[in-house]
Amino acid sequence: MSEQKVTATEKADQEKAVRFSKWFFRKYRQWVRSRPDKQEDFLGFSNMLGYPLYMVSDWMSGEKIPQGPQILCVAGFLGNHV
């Protein structure tokens, strides 16, 4: 059985994705609490950001992080401490 070696860059990217997903989830929870009905609405959150549900889900799970203009959009809606 061969072991996969993770490069320092890959490890840093993984850690960045985890940090972003934690921050992003906190921002989602704040958004939910700010809603009058306090109901979860992941589709509404995705629509507010202007990105498809699958993409926002990937960001939330840490599978991917926003890039380029996406990060600017997220920061514009949720704050610039991204």
Q: What is the pTM of this model?
A: 0.83
pLDDT tens readout for residues 60-78: 999 999 999 999 999 888 9
Tokens coding 23: 């921050």
CA distance 15 to 76: 23
pLDDT higher at 70 or 2: 70
